[in-house]
């Protein structure tokens, strides 16, 4: 006869346990440490992490257990001991404390006494627990072991002598990142953690090993020796290099941003942060940062002759340009990472000046269907519950790293992932089926019977449409085909917004009623306002952009006074980046998230909404009467705009189709100026990659230099050869000056 449950009123999948005399219900199959954490009862641990598999190798969480009046003969690891009905757990009795103190003594045997120079000092789990569980003297008299460090790249610093072999970093790279780059080598006292081959970490999530490391073995190389944790002030902010909007804290010392760390949000980024969001703050302190208003004096070569000006003079000059060139003579071009506050004011500015030439879709070539950003039909947190996922036109691992990680979680739970792409991009999960075709054939591939059969029988099909498709020459056809496929498969269409706040700007009506971004540049206006844009790298067609802007009067709200901005602008108004701004952004789920001003503004720069408020006041426009941020936010509301559909782009004839993806660390001005990210192995530099048969036809070999040209321009690029590229396509990454010259469409490739 089976024993009766201690509490018969509990659900059948729960049991009753007693921890330090506290009665509680716990799910069957869960571990003691789960129940204790839920009840707020502390149990020391090192190897356990609630997002990683259980390793039970540090033994710091040893507790005393008792069942049916019989005590276990030896302490049990709380992280690996399942609960059972009537189980009694003692975390603080003599038996448990003695075991925990003995484990701590063993952990400290080889640990160096270098806390004063360790970057983890002040926020070290080993330091904290040794205070409570460590002995005042060591009985170990032998020599401590020393482990040679290896260079893990420009982001993560190593001091592996401090490592306590908790294997959190090993499990992170294997289970979450999916790159299996770290492991344990040798055995016993000689066990050490490393990469084995001595190569840098290549995962786009490598900085998270710093967060999971409980000691000072893995630390932030960019932050190293710059400040102590108790000197830092934390400010809530957001990642703005993709549409996920990862939650993070910026840590400041005397107003300077020292580092970024993740802020937990299970619905967005869980407890992780991509390297792009973690290290981009380096770009805040670039040499060409815009710090003071600049006014063009006279033309002197491409960049012109500039002088510093007061804010009053610069705003008066900008206002005069806008007064002289209102209505249809004016175009307003906005970076898609611009905040809601600034976007709302730009829409008011355009309306007050009588122009319908307003757009934030500056990197998209095909707007012939009038498409704007839409929120995910399946929230990010639910993507991992899908049983079939179709990735269309996206290098997802580089485009939205933590969305890629969600897809990996779905795959680990049994989901089948299918891919329709012009390049067989590298993913951290197995692909059930793939169609690698030239960009013009992506829409046809979505309508194939093979793909329809591949997802047949799936209960939850999630289609993810990314930047390669959205920004390409055939975007409208691919969007229509993806929507049709999702409908036929009874699935959801999830289009990744092309910009950190593309969805928010679309809601606020930062959209054209007359000319879209492409039309504004193809049919040059007499004057432009550009906001947050680096003109030489951020547009879909750089040649057309530089030509149109170069022949007009331009008011530039800019984070950087770079060469391309100086070449086209007449007035440069220095504004804050998001890390220095009070701002609201809408992420790909439609979630409105706020960042607070963190880093101090450089020089005489100002928050963008304040500059726009001053300019609107100078022009005497309605809607600029507020006096503070609260007043501005109170007046912001969604605007329905009848978006003007654009002209279909002409891809041209002959040659190879250009397949363009974003270089992971070249997506905006801040990442391009982060030295550590530019030194990362994933920053491969400008190049063109061809299918072997196309390279052979052009007489090109691996590493050779090729001249790549089309109607937009010509680039001389190093050649890569890979059968991962679809025949008939040439793959380049955007964000580099060399590849920016090509625009879109077809290209001719020949030996340089």
Name the burial class of residue 503, with classes exposed (0-12), middle (13-18) and buried (19+) by CB atoms within 10 angstroms of its CB. Answer: buried
- Residue closest to 463 by CA, chosen among 372, 393, 371: 393
Domain boundary among 285, 318, 344: 285
The encoded tokens of residue 617 equal 């006041």
How long is the chain?
Answer: 752
- Residue closest to 636 by CA, chosen among 660, 666, 612: 612
Between CA 405 and CA 429 the distance in angstroms is 9
Same domain, 196 and 266: yes
Confidence of residue 302 (pLDDT cuts 50, 70, 90): low
Confidence of residue 712 (pLDDT cuts 50, 70, 90): confident
342 occurs within a structural domain: yes
Tell me the average pLDDT across 720-749.
92
Phi, psi of 409 (to 5 degrees): -65, -40
What is the structure's pLDDT at 643?
86
User: 3-state secondary structure string, 296-313?
Assistant: EEECCCCCCEEEECCHHH
Residue 412: its H or E element: helix 401-412
List the CATH number of the domain containing 676: 2.40.40.20
331 occurs within a structural domain: yes
Provide the H-helix boundaries in 187-229. 208-212
Tell me the average pLDDT across 352-366.
95
The encoded tokens of residue 692 equal 């072997």
CB 636 within 8 A of CB 508: yes
The encoded tokens of residue 230 equal 């108790």
List the CATH number of the domain containing 186: 3.30.70.20
Same domain, 478 and 514: no
What is the structure's pLDDT at 137?
83
21 occurs within a structural domain: yes
Domain boundary among 285, 317, 336: 285
Same domain, 302 and 340: yes
pTM: 0.94
What is the structure's pLDDT at 475?
95
What is the structure's pLDDT at 303?
58
Same domain, 259 and 313: no
* 389, β-bridge pairs: 417, 462
List the CATH number of the domain containing 50: 3.10.20.740
642 occurs within a structural domain: no
CB 47 within 8 A of CB 167: yes
Same domain, 150 and 271: yes
Q: Is the pLDDT of residue 141 over 80?
A: yes
Same domain, 524 and 471: no
Give the structural domain span for 705: 656-751
119 occurs within a structural domain: no
Residue 331: its H or E element: strand 330-334
Same domain, 617 and 742: no
* 307, β-bridge pairs: 295
420 occurs within a structural domain: yes
Same domain, 145 and 277: yes
Tell me the average pLDDT across 716-722.
95
7 occurs within a structural domain: no
Per residue in 591-633, pLDDT (tens digit) is 999 999 999 999 999 999 999 999 999 999 999 999 999 999 9
- How confident is the prediction for the chain on average, in pLDDT? 94
The terminus-to-terminus CA distance of the chain in angstroms comes to: 85
Per residue in 415-438, pLDDT (tens digit) is 999 999 999 999 999 999 999 999
What is the structure's pLDDT at 621?
95
Between CA 694 and CA 728 the distance in angstroms is 7
The encoded tokens of residue 208 equal 């998270």
CB 62 within 8 A of CB 98: no
- Residue closest to 644 by CA, chosen among 361, 334, 326, 243: 361
Same domain, 299 and 279: no
Q: Is the pLDDT of residue 645 over 50?
A: yes
4 occurs within a structural domain: no
Domain boundary among 634, 664, 693: 634
Same domain, 31 and 74: yes
Same domain, 489 and 549: no
Q: Is the pLDDT of residue 708 over 70?
A: yes
Q: Is the pLDDT of residue 5 over 90?
A: no
Same domain, 281 and 324: no
Between CA 641 and CA 327 the distance in angstroms is 17
Counting the structural domains of the chain, the total is 5
């Amino acid at each position: 006869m089976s024993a009766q449950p201690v509490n018969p009123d509990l659900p059948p999948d729960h049991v009753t346990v007693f921890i330090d005399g506290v009665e509680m219900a716990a799910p069957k199959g869960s571990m003691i440490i789960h129940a204790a954490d839920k009840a707020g009862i502390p149990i020391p641990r090192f190897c356990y992490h609630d997002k990683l598999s259980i390793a039970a190798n540090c033994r710091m969480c040893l507790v005393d257990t008792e069942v049916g009046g019989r005590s276990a003969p030896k302490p049990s690891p709380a992280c690996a001991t399942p609960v059972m009905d009537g189980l009694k757990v003692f975390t603080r009795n003599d038996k448990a404390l003695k075991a925990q103190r003995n484990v701590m003594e063993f952990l400290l045997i080889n640990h160096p006494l270098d806390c004063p120079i360790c970057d983890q000092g002040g926020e070290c789990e080993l330091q904290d627990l040794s205070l409570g569980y460590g002995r005042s003297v060591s009985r170990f008299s032998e020599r401590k072991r020393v482990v040679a460090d290896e260079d893990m790249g420009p982001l993560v610093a190593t001091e592996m002598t401090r490592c306590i072999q908790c294997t959190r970093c090993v499990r992170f790279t294997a289970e979450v990142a999916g790159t299996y780059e770290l492991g344990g080598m040798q055995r016993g006292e000689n066990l050490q953690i490393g990469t084995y081959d001595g190569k840098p970490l290549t995962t786009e999530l490598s900085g998270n090993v710093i967060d999971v490391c409980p000691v000072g073995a893995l630390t932030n190389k960019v932050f190293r020796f710059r400040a102590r944790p108790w000197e830092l002030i934390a400010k809530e902010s957001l990642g703005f290099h993709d549409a996920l909007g990862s939650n993070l804290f910026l840590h400041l010392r005397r107003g300077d941003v020292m580092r970024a760390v993740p802020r937990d949000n299970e619905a967005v980024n869980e407890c992780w942060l991509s390297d792009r969001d973690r290290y981009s703050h380096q770009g805040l302190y670039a040499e060409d940062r815009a710090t003071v208003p600049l006014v063009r004096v006279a033309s002197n070569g491409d960049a012109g002759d500039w002088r510093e000006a007061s804010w009053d003079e610069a705003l008066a000059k900008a206002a005069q340009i806008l007064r002289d060139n209102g209505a249809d003579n004016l175009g307003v071009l906005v970076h898609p990472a611009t905040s809601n506050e600034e976007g709302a004011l730009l829409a008011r500015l355009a309306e007050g000046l009588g122009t319908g030439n307003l757009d934030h879709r500056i990197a998209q070539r095909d707007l012939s269907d009038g498409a704007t950003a839409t929120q995910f039909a399946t929230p990010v947190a639910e993507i991992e519950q899908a049983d079939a996922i179709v990735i269309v036109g996206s290098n997802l691992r580089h485009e939205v790293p933590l969305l890629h990680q969600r897809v990996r979680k779905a795959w680990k739970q049994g989901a089948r992932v299918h891919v329709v792409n012009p390049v067989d991009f590298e993913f951290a999960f197995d692909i059930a089926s793939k169609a690698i075709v030239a960009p013009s054939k992506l829409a046809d591939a979505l309508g194939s019977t093979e793909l329809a059969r591949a997802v047949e029988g799936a209960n939850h099909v999630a289609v993810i449409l990314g930047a390669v498709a959205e920004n390409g020459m055939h975007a409208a056809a691919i969007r229509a085909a993806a929507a049709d496929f999702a409908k036929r498969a009874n699935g959801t269409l999830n289009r990744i917004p092309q910009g950190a706040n593309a969805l928010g700007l679309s809601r606020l009506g930062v959209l054209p009623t007359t000319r879209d971004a492409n039309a504004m540049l193809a049919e040059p206006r007499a004057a432009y306002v550009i906001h947050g844009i680096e003109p030489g790298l951020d547009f879909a067609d750089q040649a057309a952009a530089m030509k149109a802007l170069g022949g007009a009067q331009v008011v530039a709200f800019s984070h950087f006074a770079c060469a391309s901005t100086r070449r086209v602008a007449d007035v440069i108004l220095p504004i804050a980046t998001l890390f220095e701004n009070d701002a609201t952004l809408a992420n790909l789920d439609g979630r409105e998230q706020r960042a607070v001003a963190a880093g101090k503004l450089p020089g005489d720069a100002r928050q963008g909404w304040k500059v726009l408020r001053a300019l609107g006041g100078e022009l005497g426009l309605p809607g600029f009467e507020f006096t503070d941020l609260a007043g501005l936010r109170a007046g912001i509301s969604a605007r329905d705009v009848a978006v003007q559909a654009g002209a279909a782009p002409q891809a041209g004839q002959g040659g190879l189709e250009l397949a363009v993806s974003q270089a992971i660390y070249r997506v905006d001005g801040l990442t391009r100026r982060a030295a550590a990210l530019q030194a990362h192995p994933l920053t491969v530099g400008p190049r063109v990659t061809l299918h072997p048969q196309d390279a052979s036809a052009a007489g090109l070999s691996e590493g050779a230099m090729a001249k790549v040209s089309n109607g937009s321009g010509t680039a001389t690029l190093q050649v890569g050869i890979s059968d991962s590229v679809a025949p008939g396509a040439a793959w380049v990454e955007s964000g580099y000056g060399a590849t920016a010259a090509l625009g879109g469409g077809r290209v001719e490739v020949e030996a340089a």
